[in-house]
Amino acid sequence: MSAVKTSASGGASSTGGSALIGRLVQIAILVAIDLFAAFLVINLARDGIWEFAIFLALVTLFVNVIQFRKELFPIRWISPALVLMGVMVIYPILYTVYVSLTNYSDGNFLTKTQVINQVSRERFLPEGGAVFDYVAYRNEAGEFALLLTNSAGEAFFARVGAPLEAVKPDAEGKFADTIDGFTVLPRSERFSALATLSALSFGPEDQPLQISSGKARALQPRFIYDSAKDSFTDRLDGKVYFADDTIGFFVNVADYEAALAADPNTRISSFYLATPTFAQGAGYRVLVGANNFTRFFTSPAIRGPLLQIFTWTVTFALVSVFSTFALGLLIALLLQADTPAKRVFRTLLIVPYAIPALIAVSTWRGMLNPNMGVIGSTLSDILGYQIPVFSDATWAKVAILLINLWLGYPYFMLVCSGALAAIPSDMYEAAQVDGANTLQQFRFLTLPLLLVSVGPLLIASFTFNFNNFVIIEAFNKGLPPILDTPTAAGQTDILISYAFRLAFGSGRGADFGLASAITIVIFAIVAGITMLQFRFTRQWEETSKNV
Amino acid sequence: MLRKVLGLVTLVAVVLGTFGSAFAQSELVIWADDTRAPVLEELGKQFEAEFGVAVKVQQLGFGDIRDQFKTAAPAGEGPDIIIGAHDWLGELTQSGLLEPLVLDEAFLANFAPAALQGFTFNSTLYGLPYATENVAFLYNPELVETTPATWDEVFALSQMLVKEGKSKYGFVRQEGDPYHFFPIQTAFGGYVFGFDEDGNYNPEDLGVDSEGSIAALTWWENFVKAGLQPQAVDYDVMHNLFEAGDAAMIVTGPWALDRIRKSGVPYVVSPTFPEGAEGVAGKPFLGVQGFMVSSFSKNKELAVAFLTEFVASEDIEVTIKVGDKEMMGYPMYLLGLSRPSAYLPALQANEDPDFVAYGLAGTEALPMPAIPQMGAVWSSWGNAVTAVTQGTETAADAFTKAAEQIRTQLAGN
Amino acid sequence: MSSMSLAQNSKRKRGEGNYAQQKLFWKVVRVLVLTFFVFFALFPAVWVLSASFNPSQSMSSQTLIPRNVTSVDQLLVNYRVLFETPRYPFFRWVLNSVIVASITSVLTVMITALSAYSFSRFRFFGRQGLMLFILLVQVFPNLLAMVAIFLMLQQIGQYLPFLGLNTQGGLILVYVGGGMGINIWLMKGFFDSVPRDIDESAQVDGATHWQTYWLLIFPLVRPILIVVGILSFVGTFNEFVLARVLLRDINSWTLMVGLWGFVSDNFGQNWGIFAAGSVIGALPTLLVYLFFQDQIVGGLTQGAVKG
């Protein structure tokens, strides 16, 4: 009795010591994390990247709070995962939600500031404006000057902020290599000096010359930005362009109204109109509310093949999950039993997992080709007719499911092997004592226990296949085609491949706003299905407690 | 205690934070695909040795260049120069990502007018072309004597070859690819988009379901029905058939010359296309490849100078090693080796008869539309050709339905 | 009733004599079935292997033994392109991939095991909700997340260059963050199957949660740690969609980004080279698996469970 007590108290005291050390280590790590985060947040905030700065600050705050609240102890264990997921998964999701509410697409990629800068930078050569060929000179102080010549045979020497000085060539028509302490720039430095040179203005300040496209030109800014009115004035024709923040363009109101009068369907909110004559500069990103969602739900696309595609997507995902799981489990069971050469089998059977999906699908595609492929041509020789793997919807679907089975079963074989090994062998002994046969053991012991750990993977595999863009694209790009629909679609298209064709191949260029909206709709569908499955998972959890 | 620690943390972070700024360098970053990157890398080395400006070539897949440029350029992570195709212009200029090029007439006179036209959008030049590409009609001279004059002759010849057992197939097409179908479509008077008075593509005039287009597809439908086109032919299968001598005639581009030559099959690149029923020769699409300068480049002047005074100049001859071969020449000549060059002196210097033939086949070529509406056309158009090839639709139905799909999409919000 | 007991009786009687025979029969069946599956698994794989020795770069016309090959030189042409093209630092790519995949999988295992332990052993407010949340976040279709991740790494990289674009640090961070959710679930299910008596008896002895976790449970669940590790290794090793956006310099590419370059061109697809690279790329995965396979199927350490 006393011996036990001693050991217990000894254990307690050593625990107390290590607890203190543990606490110190914990604080040290926390300080390091805070330092790191504060550094990032301050920098991000300084550069005006507020969204990310605030998000990071919140994440850091969360990490600190859980360290000092005792009842949040279990969360501490989860916090590394949560933080990483927060930054790498949740932030991108929030970003996608944000993009879905904007007009982010071809034609509207830039921010308003970027567009203002770009338009302000635009310059023009006024009537009679000078254009010169130039040779660059530099003095010992590193200042630059230009020797200018034009087609009229005149020559000038131009410094920064000083009037032009006429110079004359020598008898052979050559100019001096050194003028007023400036030496001609050696050939080897001609290009490296360009960055500096092109930023300078030479000659008098009211009519500066700038280097542009290999010449010195007396360029003038073409647009004057008025920040109070948020508008540009074109100095060439005096037209005024006001920022229209509902569509993200600088628009000339009179022209816009004229265009609208001519065609009431006129829009510039999308890329559709290649040359909006009433707008100036590129478009910029603005919030457009639920516009993208409305567009998706009211577009002809939704009345088109969506139901057919949705059915196939669910079928594809379900069949893929169950076929890969069944085969993977079967192989794992066979390998668990008393079988010779297990190691060899196990190694050979994992091989498909080690081969990149892209080449695997291409190989299958080649093998199934009815003319030249080894499987396709052999089958057509045996059957006497060619199986239309690429032109018949049903056969194409069968082929895709077969390929996906090949690609996917090793994953479940691996997982099931691990999970089977984890089932304590005394449970089987107990079951055998109770007189259960092999099938009963599997049905009432192995499967329920297995589903506890593998169940969530079935859900994950379902969602993975639901969005398995790669195999569909690589096999046949969603073909064979469906033509009786308002939009281009294929018989083997799944929701995500169809959606991306809508967002990126519909004649408006890449439409990230629409694509994000569609992504969120798909997410809602998949999340709904997952929640449903989650209820089963909870049942599995209960089951495992009872075992 | 805790407050003190956190206060210190903030202080240190502020101090560290002030060190975050990057500084600009004299360096050019170029994005190129795997065929151009090796040449550009060598050119870059030469340029750096000569002028002390580093040229960094980053290799991306051809399509990736365009897609990633859209994200990277506005974020300040983009390249100074990209290599790309002229039909990207619509989307890239519309988004304000490309810098207009103002170049001398005399300098531009060295370039093929059609190529420059390709890189002109809204009357502004946005790219410096280096190569053009178009498909041509190829045949195996052991099976076919000369280019058939009409597509009906191609049909008859194919039937004869198969009947006489000279080859497994006659003319073979890539199943659904509309790009390779275009020379047939135009031969029968079909088109995709018509032109307006200024000679620009007119998105209002869609020609996918025009009489000529349907006539072309009907010809193809009959060809398929006659059992002359094998199933499931993609680019790879088509070439394998041709290279094995199993197919006598194909339509393909200069990018395939390498593999055809390696296979050792006898071939002739025809400088003309067969004519359609109305006596019109088929016209392929013309694609132009070139350099474009990013409007977000911090070294635009340098980028332009690199292109005009180094790449497109005949001052410096460079030596490059591609694979085992060592080649010497002016940069533009080296860039135009696997396609007809857009730089006239290089085009004239290239005596390779195949490239000459490709150039001739492309003299009447129509530039691939750079207007954004083209994006709505490709899938529907291709699907229609595929459906007819697979025998699931008639020609008239397929093109009518495809045109409906395209119109719906173009009218959509 | 009686017939059933009769049947059982006779079965038992006959079973005594035939037991060994029956066992052998099932053994043979198992081997035959497995052999069939091996055929299914290896047939395309052998085709990939054969493509890697085929100079024709085509995936559809191949024969098992490459045609028109007259010399060893031709046979190895794809491998030579990989090994000997000075522009392509092939072994660097392999090394990059191995580094990224190894670090990712170790970090993933460490971090997910911590979370899984907490979910399995503690009962706290919001536990179910949090688990559901982790699962839901995981099912978000992230084809579009690339743009966000690109911008984020670019922003981080301005201040912490070792985690920015074009760095393996940044890529690892993205992989670890993205691959966590489902592995937490997998491990949690596994932790659940470890009897709680083990923890409880340890805690009666005065061990802290950390000691219980680190010294007892962690070693006990080694098989699933290895499974998760391998899953994460292979997943990372074969990923190229994100990597090709985030890695720009040819020297920092991973193997899959490099190989993608050979087939991303519409017309010049070099499938033979891709195949050769895939064959070599498959080796690390197979080696990892070979090395760990006994551990996976080894099960829980028997003594510990019973103790």
pLDDT of res. B290: 95
Q: At what angle do helices C2-52 and C271-297 cross, to 10 degrees?
A: 140
Cβ-defined contact of B58 to C147 (cutoff 8 Å): no
Q: What is the reported pLDDT for B403?
A: 94
The residue count for chain B: 413
C-chain residues near B41 (CB < 8 A): 87
Domain assignment of residue A74, yes or no: yes
Of A398-402, B39-43, C55-59, the poorest mean pLDDT is in: C55-59
Q: Give, for B398, the enclosing helix (H) or strand (E).
A: helix B395-411
pLDDT at B16: 47
Would an 8 Å CB–CB cutoff place B106 in contact with chain A? no
Is residue A314 scored above 90 in pLDDT?
yes
Asked if B72 is an interface residue toward chain C (Cβ–Cβ < 8 A), one would say yes
Residue A252 tokens read as 């000339």
Whether the CB of C27 is below 8 Å from some CB of chain B: the reply is: no
Q: How close B356 comes to chain A (CA, Å)?
A: 33
Q: Which residues 6+ apart lie within 8 Å of A446 measured at CB?
A: A333, A420, A423
According to the per-residue pLDDT averaged within each range, which of A297-306, A328-337, C205-214 is highest?
A328-337
Return the bridge partners of A110, or none. A284
Mean pLDDT of chain C: 82
Residue with structure tokens 């190895």?
C76
The residue of chain A nearest to residue C38, with distances taken between CA atoms, is A349
Test mutation, B27, B42, B60, chain C, max C CBs within 10 A: B60
Round to whole Å and give the CA distance between B352 and B344.
15
Q: Report, as an integer, the average pLDDT of C11-35.
A: 78
Indicate if A214 and A259 belong to the same structural domain.
no
- Please state, in angstroms and rounded to a whole number, the distance separating the CA atoms of residues A9 and B345: 94
For the question of whether the overall pTM of this predicted structure is more than 0.95, the answer is no
Q: Determine phi and psi for A229, rounding to 5 degrees.
A: -90, -10
- Percentage of residues in chain C having pLDDT higher than 70: 85
Rounded to whole angstroms, how far apart are CA atoms C165 and C150? 7
Q: pLDDT by residue (tens digit) across A170-207?
A: 888 888 888 888 999 988 888 888 888 888 889 888 88
Instruction: State the nearest Cα–Cα gap between A189 and chain C, in angstroms.
Output: 27
Q: Mean pLDDT over all residues of chain A? A: 83
Q: What is the pLDDT of residue B144?
A: 94
Read off the pLDDT of residues A123-143 as tens digits, 9 standing for 90 and up: 888 888 889 999 999 999 889
Distance from CA of C91 to the nearest CA of A (A): 18
Residue C134 has pLDDT above 60, yes or no: yes
Q: Answer whether A286's CB lies under 8 Å from A247's CB.
A: yes
pLDDT of B194 > 70? The answer is: yes
For the residues of A305-338, what is the DSSP string, one character each? Answer: THHHHHHHHHHHHHHHHHHHHHHHHHHHHHHHSS
The count of domains in chain A is: 4
Please indicate, yes or no, whether residues A89 and A135 belong to a single structural domain of this protein: no
C157 to chain B: nearest residue by CA?
B20
- Tell whether A37 is covered by a domain: yes
Check: CB of residue C90 under 8 Å from CB of residue C258. yes
Q: Are residues A476 and A372 in the same domain?
A: yes
First to last CA, chain B: 61
pLDDT score of B176: 79
Give tens-digit pLDDT for B68-87: 898 899 988 899 999 999 98
Scanning C3-42 for CB atoms below 8 A from A yields 23, 26-27, 30-31, 33-34, 37-38, 40-42
C103 at A interface, C-beta within 8 A: no
Same domain? For A27 and A83 the reply is yes
A58-113 tens-digit pLDDT: 999 988 888 888 778 888 888 889 888 888 888 889 999 999 999 888 888 899 99
Using CA atoms, how far apart are residues C251 and A474, in angstroms rounded to an integer? 27
A511 plus A378 within the same structural domain: yes
Judged on CB neighbours under 10 Å (0-12, 13-18, 19+), B253 is buried
Say if residue C268's pLDDT is above 70: no
Identity of the residue in B20, B234, B244 whose CB atom sits nearest the CB atom of C158: B20
Q: Does C63 touch chain B (CB under 8 A)?
A: no
Express as a percent the part of chain B with pLDDT over 90. Answer: 53
Region C104-116 average pLDDT: 94
Q: Where are the beta strands (DSSP E) in B11-135?
A: 27-32, 54-59, 81-85, 120-121, 124-125, 128-133
Of A221, A240, A272, the residue at which a domain comes to its end is: A221
For A118, the closest of B26, B295, B393 (CB atoms) is B295
Across the interface, whether the CB atoms of B386 and A481 are under 8 A apart is answered yes
**Which of B95-109, B125-139, B241-255, C124-138 is the least confident region?**
C124-138
Q: How confident is the model at residue A266 (pLDDT cuts 50, 70, 90)?
A: low
CA B390 to chain centre: 27
- Identify the pLDDT of residue B136: 95
Distance CA A500, CA A519 (A): 9
Report the gap between the CA of B35 and the closest CA in chain C (Å): 9
**How far apart are the CA of B116 and the nearest CA of chain C, in angstroms?**
24
What type of residue is B375? G
What pLDDT does residue C1 have? 39
Higher-pLDDT residue of C215 and B208 is: B208
Q: Which pLDDT score is estimated for C97?
A: 94
Which whole number is the average pLDDT over C272-295?
Answer: 87
* Residue B385 exposed, middle or buried by CB count within 10 Å (0-12, 13-18, 19+): buried
**pLDDT by residue (tens digit) across A424-448?**
777 777 777 887 787 888 888 888 8
- In a shared domain, residues A183 and A266: no
* Domain harbouring A151, CATH code: 2.40.430
- Test mutation, A24, A26, A39, A358, chain B, max B CBs within 10 A: A39
Question: Which residue in B306, B307, B312, B370 sits closest to B341, CA to CA?
Answer: B312
C127 at interface of A, judged by CB pairs closer than 8 A: yes
Closest CA to C140 of A254, B297, A92, B313: A92
**What pLDDT score was predicted for residue B8?**
54
Contact B236 C147 (CB under 8 A): no
pLDDT tens across A275-305, in order? 456 788 888 899 998 988 988 888 776 677 8
A35 part of contact set with chain B, CB < 8 Å = yes
In terms of domains, do A128 and A84 share one?
no
Q: Which residues pair with A312 in a beta bridge?
A: none
**Superfamily of domain covering C82-306:** MetI-like (1.10.3720.10)
Q: B-chain residues within 8 Å CB-CB of A490?
A: 383
Give C192's pLDDT tier (boundaries 50, 70, 90): confident
Establish if A486 touches chain B: CB-CB under 8 angstroms: yes
Measure the CA–CA gap between A18 and A22, rounded to whole angstroms. Answer: 6
Instruction: Enumerate residues 171 to 200 of chain A having a beta carbon within 8 A of any beta carbon in chain B.
Output: 187-192, 194-195, 197-198
Q: Which amino acid is at A136?
A: A
Cross-chain Cβ contact B63/C147 below 8 Å? no
For an interface test with C, give the residue of B135, B172, B239, B289 to mutate (most C CBs within 10 A): B239
**A348 part of a folded domain:** yes
Asked if the structure places residue A233 within a domain, the reply is yes
- Pairing type for strands B54-59 and B27-32 reads parallel
What's the CA gap between B101 and A275, in Å, rounded?
19
Determine the pLDDT at residue C299. 53
Tens digits of residue pLDDT in B43-72: 999 899 988 899 999 998 888 898 889 889
Q: What is the structure's pLDDT at B319?
A: 81
In terms of pLDDT, which residue wins out, C269 or A32? A32
Whether residue C267 has pLDDT greater than 70: no
Same domain, A349 and A284: no
| Residue A143 in tokens | 């200042």
The pLDDT > 90 percentage for chain A reads 22
pLDDT at residue A272, rounded to an integer = 43
Is residue A8 over pLDDT 50?
no
- Predicted confidence at residue C14, as pLDDT, reads 52
Residue A175: strand, helix, or coil: coil
Average pLDDT over residues A450-470: 84
Domain end residue (candidates: A221, A236, A260): A221
C-alpha angle B217-C266-A489 in degrees, rounded to nearest 5: 50
What percent of chain A lies above the pLDDT cut of 70?
A: 90
* Tokens describing residue A141: 């102080």
> Which of the residue ranges A228-232, B273-277, B358-362, C17-21 would you say has the lowest mean pLDDT?
C17-21
Question: Do A173 and A259 reside in the same domain of the chain?
Answer: no
- Domain identity same for A315 and A199: no
Indicate the pLDDT class of residue A546, thresholds 50, 70 and 90: very low
Contact between B184 and B282 under an 8 Å Cβ cutoff? The reply is: yes
Under the banding of pLDDT at 50, 70 and 90, the label for residue A13 is very low
Q: Which two tokens stand for residue B96?
A: 């304000």
| Dist. CA A11–CA A309, nearest whole Å | 64
Residue type, C130: L
Q: Look over chain B and give the mean of its residue pLDDT values, rounded to a whole number.
A: 87
Q: What's the pLDDT at A431?
A: 79
Instruction: Name the A residues in 119-158 with CB < 8 Å from any B CB.
Output: none
Is A8 a domain residue? no
Q: Which residues of B touch A29 (CB under 8 A)?
A: none
Inter-chain residue contact A106 with B377, CB threshold 8 Å: no
Task: Tell me what pLDDT residue C88 has.
Answer: 85
A-to-B residue pairs, Cβ atoms closer than 8 angstroms = 223
**Span C176-191, mean pLDDT?**
85
Does C189 sit within 8 Å of A453, measured CB to CB? yes
In chain C, where does DSSP find H-type helix? 2-52, 72-75, 77-84, 90-121, 127-138, 145-159, 168-178, 181-192, 197-204, 209-211, 218-220, 222-237, 241-246, 255-263, 271-297, 302-306
Q: Nearest chain A Cα to B244, which residue?
A: A372
Q: How much is the pLDDT for B206?
A: 93
Count Cβ atoms below 10 Å from residue A528 Cβ, excluding itself. Answer: 10
- Both tokens of residue B97? 């990502």
- Tell whether A510 and A396 lie within a shared domain: yes
| Interface contact C147, partner B, CB < 8 A | yes
A481 and B397 within 8 Å at the Cβ level: the answer is no
Q: Mean pLDDT, to the nearest integer, of C158-184?
A: 87
pLDDT of residue A273: 44
- φ, ψ dihedrals at A202, nearest 5°: -105, 160
Is A2 within a domain? no
Q: Find residue A135's DSSP bridge partners.
A: A147
ipTM: 0.84
Strand-pair category, B27-32 with B81-85: parallel
pLDDT value at residue B382: 92
Cβ contacts (< 8 Å) between C282 and chain A: which residues? 351, 354-355
Q: How confident is the model at residue A420, as a pLDDT?
A: 84
Check pLDDT > 60 for residue C255. yes
The b-or-e profile of C152-179 (16+ CB within 10 A means b, else e) is bbbbbbbbbeebbbbbbbbbbbbbbbbb
Q: What is the pLDDT of residue B28?
A: 94
Domain membership flag for residue A154: yes
Owning domain of residue A143:
123-221
Distance between C248 CA and the closest CA of chain B, angstroms: 6
Q: Is residue A105 part of a domain?
A: no
Cα B346 to Cα A120, A246, A518, B99, C150: the distances in Å are 39, 50, 49, 26, 40
- Indicate if A198 and A128 belong to the same structural domain: yes
Q: How confident is the model at residue B7 (pLDDT cuts 50, 70, 90)?
A: low
